[in-house]
Structure 1
Amino acid sequence: MSENFEINHLPGRTIHHEGQTYLFFSGTAYLGLPQHTDFQELTLDSIRRYGTVFGSSRNGNLRLAVYEEAEAKLAAIVGSPAALTLSSGMMAGQVISNWLRAQHATFVYGPSAHPALWHEPTVTLPTLSFADWSVQIADQLRTELTGNRSTGPVAILVNSIDAVRSERYNFDWVNDLPDDCPITLVVDDSHGIGVLNDGQGIWPEIAHKLKDSQIRLLVTTSLAKAMGLPGGAIFGDADLLNAIRQTAFFGACSPMTPASLEAYLKADTLYAEGRERLQRNIHLAETLLLPTGLFHHAEGYPVFFTKQDGLYPYLLDHQLFVYSFAYPTAADRANTRVVISAFHESADIERLAELVADFKR
């Protein structure tokens, strides 16, 4: 069981706990934006203009132009036709699940699909690996359609990556899905946007595979990770997002804070610098950590997963804090992973590598 730390400041390169300073290799601020003083200043300037929150429906008769401006920019960067922001990544997934439920869709979940995509408080997820599940899903759907057990719309809901075990998923299987029923593919890309594919995330990869398909694609994301923004977003075709926007569920949602979106509009240089630093740090970590054989790691991704849970207390004893707790529920197995961020310095990663090497010995 991991020891719980309680602190009273934003984690950055270091955290301070009970008089001790620890190097911090956890969290999901991959680009280091929340810790960046220039990004903080942009946000503070925007708060002076927009306040801390916009307490109104996005579908009201008074609207702020910053939402459409930021959504157009998000869509352009990702490469999708349109984008829609919400107050969190969880809300982005839930507004889609609510919309699909109203269409009486049959929900088909991939392994470890994030709870943001669940249409009920508890769902049964496949226990297969993603690779094994993806090989079978097309034939499974055809069998169900042939047996008339599912004649309505089908929603397939998956993650874009195993963010815990640092495994990138292959999406070639979407080309084999049946084309004789309406299918909506919903992909949670919370850990990919801002990091993978030069920051575009999973959208261009899957959209290219589906370019001649009738399958509808929706990508959801939390913007609170690499993007450093308190909110979430949905990417998809404009007509699809407009239909979702017209639902009572969306109309009743409090929107994302406009100050954060204005800061995003002004932070191009900071995002570009953050991605450059992050990729440089990931490369250094790959060079130093992977030869130990202790880690599972997707190339270019800032997470290094290990089954050696004893690494956590060892590093903690040497003033280095890494991710290690049960997820997504307390009943799940604890997992240990090292998270690299743009705010790390080369010396931090070198110190981490020294300790990992000592642990292995």
Structure 2
Amino acid sequence: MNERIHIDHLPNRTIAHNGTDYLFFSGTAYLGMPQHPGFQQLVAQSMSRYGTVFGSSRNGNLRLGVYEEAEAKLATRTGAGAALTLSSGMMAGQVIVNWLRKEQTTFIYAPGAHPALWDSPVVSLPQLSFANWTAQLTTQLQALDAGPVAILMNSLDAVCSDYYDFAWLNDLPDDRHITLVVDDSHGIGVLNNGRGIWPQLSLSENRRNGPIRVLVTASLAKAMGLPGGAVFSDSDTIASLRETAFFGACSPMAPACLDAYLRADALYAERQEQLQRNIRLAEEHLLPSGLFRHATGYPVFYTEHDELYARLLAHNILIYSFAYPTAADRANTRIVISAFHEPADIEQVARRLI
């Protein structure tokens, strides 16, 4: 296990540790929003109006309009019918799991499904490639007793930098009620010009075997730079989730951050363009080494060469390398590109790969 490094400041393109500056190529702040002075200023301005938290239930008799306004904008941006914000991506997943459990739903998990979607503390995930799992899915459904089924999965393999094909949705049987739940925490703000995975799931609305109920969850604390989570679906489903005791008892995400989001269109657009420029540069400089697995246009470069961590650290470059999601899992090593990186940063990493 790699030694843990402790610092006392927010990581940016560099971090300071024991008097030494290191280039930082880890984390999930893909757009670099938490580090952006302009976005920090927007949040500070919003806090003067809304404070640090809203200590109330969203279903209380006094409501802040900023929540509905921001949720409407999130829904419009992604293409979903409606959206609902919560205090974290984990809470966004769990409000759905609790809701589905009351429908006596059978849960089917895809390989690598995030713990936010688990219906118990320990879930046995399929030890198959994603393609092999989808090939067996119809047979698995046919073997189940009658009743509603939920298929729970990630929007992509963000660990190993691999996109998923969703064409298999067209082949699912129409003899039972199917709900698809997709965790898009690593896609929203990055995929499809920032819209996330929702546009790729629209095929299920017109699939030949009938519609599938689709819900997308996301942590907004990654590319979006917001301390909270969200659920996206049709308006009736979102209204039903809002009426649950689980949602009513949750503390909401900070309203100041949603107010800042409403005023940050130009910053998000600029950061998304910069991220794509940085990714293209990284693809040009890193991929010729043959060390990485990489989904084109995505900010993660995965490698099975775990020794790369120590080699780069010796040259004052800190990359991602630790066991995930539990300490018992194998360490995974990757270089993560952010909009806050400068071209010289990426070029320096590439030189140290030789």
Q: TM-score, normalising length from structure 1?
A: 0.97
**Which of 295, 318, 321 is matched with 2:318 structurally?**
321
Aligned CA-pair RMSD: 0.7
Q: Which runs of 5+ in 2 are unaligned?
A: none
Instruction: Please say if 1:234 is aligned against 2:234.
Output: no
Query: Aligned pair 1:301/2:320, yes or no?
Result: no
Aligned to 2:285: 288
Q: Is the 8 A contact 1:175 1:210 kept in 2?
A: no
Structure 2 residue aligned with 1:253:
250
Tell me the residue number matched to 1:132.
Answer: 132
Shift of 1:129: 0.6
Matching of residue 156 in structure 1 with residue 151 in structure 2: yes
SS state at 2:348 partner: helix
Match of 2:195 in 1: 200
Shift of 1:151: 1.3
Secondary structure of 1:24's aligned partner:
strand
Whole-angstrom distance in 2 between the partners of 1:351 and 1:97:
44
Counterparts of 1:215 and 1:318 in 2: how far apart (Å)?
50
Distance 2:147 2:142 in 1: 13
Q: By how many angstroms is 1:180 displaced? A: 1.1
Corresponding residue for 1:331?
Answer: 328
Task: Give me the whole-angstrom Cα distance separating, in 1, the residues matched to 2:228 and 2:126.
Answer: 29
Report the equivalent of 1:78: 78
Moved beyond 4 Å, runs of 4+: none
SS in 2 for 1:351: helix
**Partners of 2:13 and 2:24 within 8 A in 1:** yes
Using the TM superposition, give the Cα deviation of residue 99 of structure 1 relative to its aligned residue in structure 2, in angstroms.
Answer: 0.4
- TM-score w.r.t. length of structure 2: 0.98
Q: Letter of the aligned partner of 1:154 in structure 2? A: V
- In 1: Cα distance, 2:313 partner to 2:112 partner: 29
In structure 1, how many angstroms separate the alpha carbons of the residues matched to 2:99 and 2:112? Answer: 22
Kept in 2, the 8 Å contact 1:174–1:210? The answer is no
**Alignment partner of 2:313: what SS?**
helix
State the alpha-carbon separation in 1 of the partners of residues 50 and 70 from structure 2.
14
Q: How many residues align?
A: 352
Percent of residue pairs bearing the same amino acid type: 67
Match of 2:172 in 1: 177
Aligned counterparts of 2:222 and 2:112: Cα–Cα separation in 1: 19
Q: Hey, what's the Cα distance between the residues in 2 that align with 1:143 and 1:117?
A: 23
| CA–CA distance in structure 2, aligned partners of residues 58 and 158 of structure 1 | 28
Deviations 1:182-221 (A, max 9, x none): 1100000000000011111110111134334321000000
The answer on whether the counterparts of 2:204 and 2:212 sit within 8 Å (CA) in structure 1 is no
Matched position secondary structure for 1:300: coil
CA deviation vs aligned residue, 1:326-360 (integer Å, no higher than 9, x gap):
00000000010000000000000000100112xxx
Q: C-alpha distance in 1, partners of 2:205/2:184?
A: 17
CA–CA separation in structure 2 for the residues paired with 1:229 and 1:208: 29
Superposed, 1:1-361 pairs within 5 Å as: 1-144=1-144, 150-212=145-207, 213-357=210-354
Q: Structure 2: how far apart are the matches of 1:209 and 1:116?
A: 23
For residue 276 of structure 1, give the secondary structure of its aligned residue in structure 2: helix
CA contact (8 A) 1:172 1:209 kept: no
Q: Deviations over 1:299-329 (max 9, x none)?
A: 0100000000000000000000000000000
- Measured in 2, the distance between the counterparts of 1:275 and 1:321 equals 23
